[in-house]
Amino acid sequence: MIQFSQLNQKYGGTQILWNLDLEIKEGEVTCIMGRNGVGKTTLLRCLMGLLSIHSGDIILNGQSLVSLSAEARAPLGVGYVPQGRDIFPMLTVEENLRIGLPIRKDKSKCIPEKIYDLFPVLKEMLNRLGGDLSGGQQQQLAIARALVIEPRVLILDEPNEGIQPNIVRQIGDVILKLNRDENLTVILVEQKLGFARRVGQSFRLMEKGRIVASSAMDQLNDALIKQYLAV
């Protein structure tokens, strides 16, 4: 579904991604894992068009994305929940959610009821400012906002950072439900091993801007954890 080929990315003179090859399979929850600073967020930002790449290609369902602007990528069915959530604190919950409506294929003017079924807490807080929500509620809002566009692939960058356990569980339930019921493809950058094992079907381990191991989640063994994840 998504293929990264020989991707190279640099911040100024500092190269972060090195000839990176990666395949994301349709209908799978793929966890991208690795220690801090190995380039996980950089990879996602390249996919979303928020960073330009030096060379290589990113192909979504047969279409190369690299010449497309960030604005042109979301309508292809890519929903993005960035690290740190990036909700609009001075807009209400409803206004945050409505941002995605123009991108929907059906051009609906209403937020689908499904969003509130997945995140009931948001329905109770529609008129509250985004900045007044708790961290966990903001994360749920960020995921809901990405789902409003009806993505075929949902990209989540460390959705559980700083979030209390009961909300982490709810976020996991939502990912599992959407994957099971709608065959949603999910790319999840995740540091928490337990969460990755619970929701992920496969993993990709990164080190120094390269993919160093890829397999089914049940193959993520102690040796790999020690080599590429333990701090």
Q: Which residues bind ligand ATP (CB under 6 A)?
A: 11, 14, 16, 34, 36-42
Interatomic CA distance for residues 141 and 171, integer angstroms: 11
Interatomic CA distance for residues 6 and 21, integer angstroms: 5
Question: In the bound complex, what is the minimum distance in angstroms from residue 71's beta carbon to ligand ATP?
Answer: 21
Closest alpha carbon to 76 in 55, 94, 62: 62
> Nearer Cβ to ligand ATP, position 11 or 181?
11
Question: In the bound complex, what is the minimum distance in angstroms from residue 83's beta carbon to ligand ATP?
Answer: 6
Question: In the bound complex, what is the minimum distance in angstroms from residue 217's beta carbon to ligand ATP?
Answer: 19
> Nearer Cβ to ligand ATP, position 33 or 184?
33
Cβ atoms of 89 and 105 closer than 8 Å: no
The full length of the chain comes to: 231
Question: In the bound complex, what is the minimum distance in angstroms from residue 41's beta carbon to ligand ATP?
Answer: 3
> Nearer Cβ to ligand ATP, position 20 or 78?
20
> Nearer Cβ to ligand ATP, position 119 or 228?
228
Question: Cα dist. 149→19, 106, 143, 203 in Å?
Answer: 32, 10, 11, 26
